[in-house]
Structure 1
Amino acid sequence: METIKFVDVTKCDGCRACMVSCKNWNDLPSEIEEFHGSYQSHEKITANTWNVITFNEQERKDGGLDWLFRHSSCMHCVEASCEKACPEDAISHTKFDSVVIDYDKCVGCGYCVQACEFDAINLATYIDKNGKEFRKAQKCTQCTDRLEEGMQPACATACHTGAIVYGDKDDLLASAEERLAKVKERYPNANIYNPQGIKGTNTVYLLADKPSTYGLPENPKVALSQVVWKDYAQPIGKAMLGATTMAVIGSFIANSLNKKNESSEGEDHHE
């Protein structure tokens, strides 16, 4: 069964319970930010704040105001730019289609950060036992550790309005279309955000307005250079490295045998 996380922003009341539950479950440190002129508690996703409720104030045609909230976190793209950009194969998809980072493989190069069109992945700084700083990429895991135990993502469990749900992909997409038809009267620009330029996402949204209103790219795509690098150049490079290594080893063995044979022939000649 394919599963997704579905976020209906029209049900969100901006309570931030998802943010708190994410912090608690993943043992992430608190981050105190200076006031930046908004009800929004954090300006954006960081290496230690994996989801943020964004606040957008929008004026209606009747002169009233709407608050457009969005639970902002990693999209878990089917074709993920961060995965394509990683030179160490430290980013991969799980059986739940969540995109996760292998911290043992991550070297903190930051290519994934540059590649992500959703600004959902960042570098965290750590200090080793010798006092030397090092970096690791960090982001939402869609609570893969909870999914492995048959539980829901922490954010979905904490959401009291039902704005965040996790479950069967086909069922949730069907429900999303039904819900979309209902909210169109109030939000004529409402849409299902599941961009096909990256073959869809594992976090699907029902948005009340066009994606750009929420700071989302209209039609994100993996850069051709990343596809060429990950799917062609890197495998060929590794294959060539393997062939070269074997050639060097073979040459070393051949030279050793030749020297041994020459030494034996020399001894026979002297005898």
Structure 2
Amino acid sequence: MTKYVKYVDVTKCDGCRACMVACKNWNDLPAEPTDFLGSVQSHPKTTADTWNVLQYIEHENSKGGLDYLFRHSSCFHCTDAACEKVCPENAISYTKFGSVVIDQDKCVGCGYCVQNCPFEVISLKEYKDKHGKEYRKAHKCTMCTDRLDQGMQPACVTTCHTGAMEFGSREAMIQKAEKRVREIKGRYPNAMVYNPPGVGGTHTIYVLAERPSVYGLPENPKVPTSAVLWKDYAQPIGKAMIGATTMAVVGAFVANKLFSKKAEHEDGGEGHE
């Protein structure tokens, strides 16, 4: 089955923030007041009500000049997602497009996904039920999976006027990214494709002008060992143990009933002698 990728070329981004507006509009996300950050960046990072953020970075390049770097920041939709591994309710899953989504009906707001995301793009939102009781739900970018189901592209991609973002098959987008890096190496010696293997690759890949750390990204993100142990070992073993325990309980119950009936029958027989 074809997997899809959102391609982001930061060297073409002009910081217009149209992607943020489109995301808010399509997903009906509320406005979120923030403190003034002293730059064009409106939010310090993604939140439960702001699923993508335009980051603004002032960077001194290798030639001593000052570069103004922009980066569209949202969920990476990892192929091997830590959030999916640590969710105890199986509320996080992969779609046929490769996007990673959260089932709000199953989410219990435990926060494990927030704690284990290597890119820190998931947040919890506070709610109150009709009785005033507080509860939480995890939220993040869905890669507009509802739009993909209708044959459309993510809202952020369709509104990008500089061509900094595209959406297509994984193979085509990776080839495009690699070609673009070769084209800009003269201007940006540290240019690279950011598609971290430690999380199985991502479904949002970047053409970066500088090293990942310049953009606040981990150089080599990996799924936490604890998440791997939990999902791939502890949970299956735990389920097997629960199954074995259940069978043991059922077996004991049945055996107890049988022995009880046998004892009653023997006692009854003795009483007739």
Q: Normalised by the size of structure 2, how large is the TM-score?
A: 0.94
Q: What is the CA-CA distance between 1:63 and the residue it aligns to?
A: 6.2
* Aligned partner letter, 1:171: A
Alpha-carbon RMSD: 1.5
Q: How many angstroms apart in 1 are the aligned matches of 2:186 and 2:245?
A: 65
Q: Which residue of 1 aligns with 2:263?
A: 262
Q: What is the CA-CA distance between 1:27 and the residue it aligns to?
A: 1.2
Q: How many angstroms apart in 2 are the aligned matches of 1:60 and 1:247?
A: 67
1:154 aligns with 2:152: no
Q: Deviations over 1:191-234 (max 9, x none)?
A: 10001111211100001111001000000111222211110011
Q: Which residue of 2 aligns with 1:80?
A: 81
5 Å-filtered alignment, 1:99-114, equals: 99-114=100-115
Q: Which runs of 5+ in 2 are unaligned?
A: none
Identify if the C-alpha distance between structure 1 residues 165 and 266 changes in structure 2 by more than 3 Å, giving closer, same or farther: same
1:201 aligns with 2:199: no
1:46 aligns with 2:85: no
Q: Which residue of 2 aligns with 1:126?
A: 127
Secondary structure of the 2:166 match is strand
Identify if the C-alpha distance between structure 1 residues 185 and 251 changes in structure 2 by more than 3 Å, giving closer, same or farther: same
5 Å-filtered alignment, 1:157-172, equals: 157-172=158-173
- Report if the CA contact (8 A) 2:89-2:106 is conserved: yes
1:138 aligns with 2:139: yes
Secondary structure of the 2:39 match is coil
Q: How many angstroms apart in 1 are the aligned matches of 2:90 and 2:63?
A: 52
Equivalent residues, number: 271
Q: How many angstroms apart in 2 are the aligned matches of 1:19 and 1:191?
A: 24
Secondary structure of the 2:167 match is strand
Q: What is the CA-CA distance between 1:263 and the residue it aligns to?
A: 2.5
Q: Which residue of 2 aligns with 1:31?
A: 32
Q: How many angstroms apart in 2 are the aligned matches of 1:117 and 1:60?
A: 26
Q: How many angstroms apart in 1 are the aligned matches of 2:265 and 2:89?
A: 47
Q: Which residue of 2 aligns with 1:3?
A: 4
Q: How many angstroms apart in 1 are the aligned matches of 2:12 and 2:38?
A: 24
- Report if the CA contact (8 A) 2:3-2:96 is conserved: no
* Aligned partner letter, 2:67: D
Q: Which residue of 2 aligns with 1:20?
A: 21
Q: How many angstroms apart in 1 are the aligned matches of 2:231 and 2:63?
A: 51
Secondary structure of the 2:245 match is helix
Identify if the C-alpha distance between structure 1 residues 34 and 228 changes in structure 2 by more than 3 Å, giving closer, same or farther: same
Secondary structure of the 2:181 match is helix
* Aligned partner letter, 1:77: C
Secondary structure of the 2:131 match is coil
* Aligned partner letter, 1:29: P
Identify if the C-alpha distance between structure 1 residues 142 and 259 changes in structure 2 by more than 3 Å, giving closer, same or farther: same
Secondary structure of the 1:135 match is strand
* Aligned partner letter, 1:56: I
Q: Deviations over 1:41-90 (max 9, x none)?
A: 11110111110000012245666543210000001111111112222222
Q: Which runs of 5+ in 1 are unaligned?
A: none
Q: How many angstroms apart in 2 are the aligned matches of 1:86 and 1:153?
A: 25
* Aligned partner letter, 1:107: V
Q: What is the CA-CA distance between 1:268 and the residue it aligns to?
A: 3.7
Q: What is the CA-CA distance between 1:37 and the residue it aligns to?
A: 2.1
- State the 4+ residue runs in structure 1 displaced beyond 4 angstroms: 60-64
Q: How many angstroms apart in 2 are the aligned matches of 1:190 and 1:62?
A: 15
1:251 aligns with 2:255: no
Q: Which residue of 2 aligns with 1:226?
A: 227
Q: What is the CA-CA distance between 1:156 and the residue it aligns to?
A: 0.7
